Every structure is written in C-alpha cells, then in structure tokens.
Amino acid sequence: MKKALAACFLVGVLGLAATLIWVREKPAALTKVAAPAPADTNRLHEASWYDKLPDGMVHCRLCPNSCRLPEGALGLCRARQNIGGTLYSLVYGQMAAVHVDPIEKKPFFHVLPGGRAFSLATSGCNMRCLFCQNWEISQALPGELQTTAATPEEVVAAAVRSGAQAIAFTYNEPTIFYEYMLDIARLAKARGLKTLVISNGYIQPEPLRALLPHIDAYKVDFKAFSPQFYTEVTGGSREPILETMKIIHEAGVWLEIVNLLITGLNDSEDEVRELARWVRDNLGPDVPVHFTRFHPLYKLANLPPTPIERIVRARDIAMAEGLHYVYTGNIPSSPGDSTYSPQTGEVLIRRQGFFVLENRLTNGVAPSGEVIPGVWQ
C-alpha cells in the first residue's frame, strides 16, 4: 500500500454499486436512510461536531443539513453514522481516489502557478447536485466503493515523496471527511506543504473557523445566485455558503470562487451580475471568480453544453462590475485562462487550460511593481 501511495497514481474507483439514493426531503427526514452496520467500531473514528441526544439519538452540527440521527442511521452525507449513540466517521482513512494534479486544475489561478497538488478524496457528499461530475464517489454509500486505507501520516509522507507542493482535499466534498482532512492538514503544514480545500462551502461556521488556521487556500464551488436553484438542483441552500465565503475571506485565507453556468438554469446575465456585485461588495474586487462551462452529466445529461459565448459574456459582465480577476473554464485556448494586470491590462500569467506558459510574477509582484494578491510561495 505504501508503494502505491508513494507512486501517487490514481486509486481505481471499483466495484461501484448501481443503486443510489436520491432524497428530496428536508434533512430531518434523512434519518431513515439506513447503512450496513460496521462489524467493529474500534476500527472507526469518532466524529467531531455532534451532540448526544436522549433515546440514543445524535445531532450532527458539521454542516447546515443538521442531521438528527437515530441508532444505525446515516447522515445525508452517507459518511457519518450513529452507532450505539456515538457518531462515527465511516470514511476516515479510506481514500476513494488519489492523484497528483496541476494546481490550476482545481482551479486555483492565484496559488503556486505551475505547481502540483497531491489530491485525495473519500466517498460521500452533503449535497445532491444533479450535475455532479464526480457522482460515482460523491453519491456512493459505504461499501459501494473499493477504497485504499491510509493514515494521515502515510498520506503526507506520500505527498512529500511525490514532489507535490500542496495537498488538495477534492473530488468529493471534503467537509464530510472533516476529521481526516484536519489531521492531514496539520501534518502537511508541519512538513512545509500548502493545504487546499475544494468545497461546495456547505459547512457550519464553528467547524469552519476551527479548520481555517490549517488551510492555505479555499475554493468554493458556488452553484448559483438563485436560492431556488440551490433548493431544486443541489438539495442545499444558498445563505450558508455566502456566510462561508465571508468567514474564509475575513480569516485571511485565500479564496477563489467557481460558478458553473448551466444553460437555462443559472446563466442569465442578471444572475451573473448579482453574483459579481455580491463578491465586489462583500469580499472585494481581488477575489478571483471562475465562470466554467457545463457539459451534460449525471442527472442533467439531457441538457446542452453551455454556449461558449455565454461564458465569455459572464466574464465581461463581472469585470464591468469591478472584479479584477475573472476567469473562464472548460473553454479551449481562452483569453480567460490568463491573469492580467488590473492597472495596465498586460498579461502577467499566460495559461493554456491547466498549463502555465509564462509567469512574469516574482513572488506575486509584477515587473511594474504592482502586487497581485494570492499564495505565491
């Protein structure tokens, strides 16, 4: 196992069961989703951020789903289970995927340009996005995937051996493997690695604030500015995610935002303008925003890809509203791949897709002396 980790190749997502659960009820109703009872709780990791309730129930306080679980029940995330009145993480130390990626793939465009991230995931998610590109792992139940066991120490040692500059918690929703992520992040920071979270932002303020001192950069996949979209298409709600982004920014942790534009659902000019204004007024003009192109996937495979011109138009709107760093994604050879000086308009980091072709910054400083915000070293 250690050799496999050191090689940093993708751990195959095997043995995926075909049956998935789609639940439309409010979180309180999700207590009826049962999971197979683990044979040995000594091999599990007790969860954090929960309360024990009368009659053997538990109340999970990790994310806004706020699940109240009777004996044997799984949370909506499918990663936490009430066993004997104690809430356990079913995914601690169980990797469903691991790979070394360009940091730009996350995407982070103001973090270690040209660097590489040792990226890992477990199974599970606390949302039910109809367009999820990693649904095979994010919507899996415990036991449906073949996973690789690895302690936090083994993960960090493998990341160091890989030559990566960072560890990224990604592919599924890192919030649901909070305890594993936090233990890895603490060790990674001690070894000089940057720590990156790629998240839907659906986390309660208290656990978020406890995590942030151990994180260098946080990317939030902001699904839409429409509350209705969040309810109907993701199974979540918008307001907690707006609060998450404010908390990250106020804590001084580098933040980038991605907005996947889906044809006819969240790609109107008015909605793009609302998002740009909210970012400008609440986070400031220097927080990068990436508008990315939707491709038919999962339960929205019947929809067409987003027209390229709509992604380009979204970038134009956001920049007209005063945002300094607006990018486009899933478009080949787009000018929106590169970083430009807000003062002069000159190219400072030239990219093609995930690849850096030219970087004129020196520790975040342009040749003109202009300082570009980000995590550069």
CB 183, CB 48: distance < 8 Å? no
Stretch 205-220: mean pLDDT: 98
Residue 167 pLDDT:
98
Q: What number of residues does the chain have?
A: 377
Asked whether 361 and 349 are in contact (CB, 8 A), the reply is yes
Which percentage of the chain shows pLDDT scores above 70?
89
Quote the Cα angle for 148-149-152, to 5°: 125
Instruction: Provide the mean pLDDT of the chain.
Output: 90
pLDDT band at 333 (very low <50, low <70, confident <90, very high): confident
pLDDT in tens, 339-368: 999 999 999 999 998 999 999 999 999 999
For 52-63, the pLDDT digits (tens) are 999 999 999 999
| SS3 label, residue 302 | coil
**What average pLDDT score do residues 190-194 get?**
97
Question: What is the model's pLDDT at position 142?
Answer: 79
Give the alpha-carbon dihedral of 59, 130, 105, 310, to 10 degrees. Answer: -130
- The residues that bridge with 45 in the sheet, in sequence order, are 89
Cα–Cα dist 31/41, whole Å? 20
Asked if pLDDT for residue 15 goes beyond 70, the answer is no
Name all domains of the chain by residue range, CATH numbers in brackets. 27-89 (no CATH), 94-359 (3.20.20.70)
Binned at pLDDT 50, 70 and 90, residue 141 comes out as confident
Residue 236 near residue 230, CB atoms below 8 Å: yes
Q: What is the mean pLDDT of residues 171-181?
A: 98
- The string of DSSP codes covering 198-232 is EE-----HHHHHHHGGG-SEEEEE---S-HHHIII
Q: What is the pLDDT of residue 355?
A: 93
Q: Computed from CA positions of residues 50, 52, 56, 61, in that sequence, does the dihedral angle turn out positive or negative?
A: negative
Residues 242-269: tens digit of each pLDDT: 999 999 999 999 999 999 999 999 999 9
pLDDT tens-digit readout, 71-103: 999 999 999 999 999 999 999 999 999 999 999
Q: Is the pLDDT of residue 275 over 50?
A: yes
Q: What angle do CA 129, 125, 65 make, to 5 degrees?
A: 90
pLDDT of 13 strictly over 70: no
Concatenate the DSSP letters of all residues of 124-180 into one string: --S---TT-TTHHHHTPPTTSS--EE--HHHHHHHHHHHT-SEEEE-SS-GGGGHHH
Report whether 218 contacts 182 (CB < 8 A). no
